[in-house]
Structure 1
Amino acid sequence: MIREKFSKLLDGQSKQLKTLGIYTGVVLLIFSIIIPFMGKGLFVKETAKKNESPLTSVMGQANSMKEERSTVTGIVLQESQDKPKTMPAPPKAKEEAEVKAPVQTQTREVNAVSNIKDITWPVKGEVIQEVGLSYSKTFSDYRYHNGIDIKVKRGTEAGAALEGKIGKVETTKSEGLKVSIDHGDGWQSVYAHLEDVFVKTGDVVKKGQSIGIVGQPGLNEVMEGPHLHYSLLKDGKVVNPRDYLPKGEP
């Protein structure tokens, strides 16, 4: 009796379990079919969103920057048009004067022709050697002498015999330090055996103006002792200064 009731109870529960299992299986089957499609749709939407959003963002930023640049350019152009034009300041008067008037050195020009009759002695002293063939104490023989030697103390100042322009200031072993002066019209005078000079090439000197001091003579006349070797030339040829200098000893 009891066994039959229990058996009926088990059969009823078994039917209910079967029914529940069938419903559960159907529901799971439906979800297994629907969920993949739902997930695929979400995945596609997310992917599209990821793919599209960076490009859209960049394009948006570019458009924004373009608009800002256009706005700034417009402001700058407007300001440049509204701003009055100014001319650059003219150069200072001092600078302009320096450009237009460069510094120039003024030199007094020598007369075109100096009057040879105005010639004077360059130093005062005894004439110990004349122009022409004469005996040389240095070489102990006779040889041509192209000027006159005027004996003076060492340190004596020598003056220009005539007004003129300094041609050369040079030093040689044979004549020591010497100065040449151009007097114009082919006249030239030379002063040798100097120790120091007070002039330079291009200077204009007056008659009697000091041009240097006498020192020890060069090798050609070293045995003569301190003296001024004075030469006078006309058109490059040696002439005798005695023919033009004041007569007598200086």
Structure 2
Amino acid sequence: MNFPRRWKTTAIYSAMILILGLTAFTYGLARLDGSEEAVNGVAGVVNSVEGAVNGVEEVETVNPEITITQGPDTNLPVPQKCVGDFPSPVQIEPLRGVGNYYSENLKAYLFHAGADYPQAEGAMIRATHGGKVTYAGADPILGQKVEIDCGENWRVVYGGIENLRVKTGDEIKENDIVGQVGYYSGADGISDRTQLHYEVWKGNEAQVQ
């Protein structure tokens, strides 16, 4: 256990004072006994203790008390990513969100893994989170898409992109441009307008933004 320096100094002084008291008592007895050898021996002890006290005083004068401030605890857990770290790249209501929907073309229910946002053709799309581009190119459903590995098993997908500004293997930062909005054939029932398709994944589970 570490005690403050001033506590240690006080303890040293107290011990030395006690030693001096006992030594002085012994010194008095030695003088009464009349033995010159005993007197000189006790006197030497007194001088040694006084020298030690003086040494402590000099150390205290040369080295004033230093207050040590403990730094931040580096063992605190690092916050984990959550879906809130992957906001929508555009601030507008989606045409379709994550979930099942009925396809008029296929006459069946399908699962929609992302959200479709109406956007003007050519609108610049910026990354909502930095990471490594694991794919940038053609997709049979999304037209052209960009997929980004964001770490901690999170990834995002941008579909309906034209004029890609990134390529597979690129390291990108938040707000970097990934491409421009275009058409994509997979927008079942609403493919007659330009839109951005955006997906957020945690492992193999599509997330609802």
Fold shared by both chains (TM-score > 0.5): yes
Category of TM-score, reference length = shorter chain: 0.5 to 0.7
Structure 1 counterpart of 2:109: 142
Change (3 A) 1:197 1:114: farther
Between the aligned partners of 1:212 and 1:222, the Cα distance in structure 2 is 24
Change (3 A) 1:145 1:135: same
Structure 2 counterpart of 1:183: 150
Between the aligned partners of 2:88 and 2:186, the Cα distance in structure 1 is 24
Matches within 5 A, 1:1-250: 115-116=81-82, 117-136=84-103, 139=106, 141-221=108-188, 223-224=190-191, 225-240=193-208, 242=209
Contact 1:216–1:222 under 8 Å retained in 2? no
Structure with the greater alpha carbon radius of gyration: 1
* Structure 2: runs of 5+ lacking an equivalent: 1-78
Amino acid at match of 2:89: P
Amino acid at match of 1:166: V
Shift of 1:140: 5.6
Amino acid at match of 2:127: A
Between the aligned partners of 1:222 and 1:130, the Cα distance in structure 2 is 14
Change (3 A) 1:136 1:156: farther
Q: Please, what is the CA RMSD of the aligned residues?
A: 2.4
Contact 1:155–1:213 under 8 Å retained in 2? yes
Residue 95 of structure 2 aligns to a residue whose secondary structure is strand
Between the aligned partners of 2:132 and 2:80, the Cα distance in structure 1 is 11
Contact 2:98–2:112 under 8 Å retained in 1? yes
Contact 1:126–1:152 under 8 Å retained in 2? no
Task: Determine which structure has the larger helix proportion and give its number.
Answer: 1
Contact 1:161–1:207 under 8 Å retained in 2? yes
For normalisation by structure 2, the TM-score amounts to: 0.55
Identity of aligned residues (%): 30
Between the aligned partners of 1:130 and 1:216, the Cα distance in structure 2 is 17
CA-to-aligned-CA distance 1:203-228 (integer Å, 9 cap, x gap): 12121221000101124537332111
Amino acid at match of 1:164: G
Shift of 1:159: 1.2
CA-to-aligned-CA distance 1:26-81 (integer Å, 9 cap, x gap): xxxxxxxxxxxxxxxxxxxxxxxxxxxxxxxxxxxxxxxxxxxxxxxxxxxxxxxx
* Structure 1: runs of 5+ lacking an equivalent: 1-112, 243-250
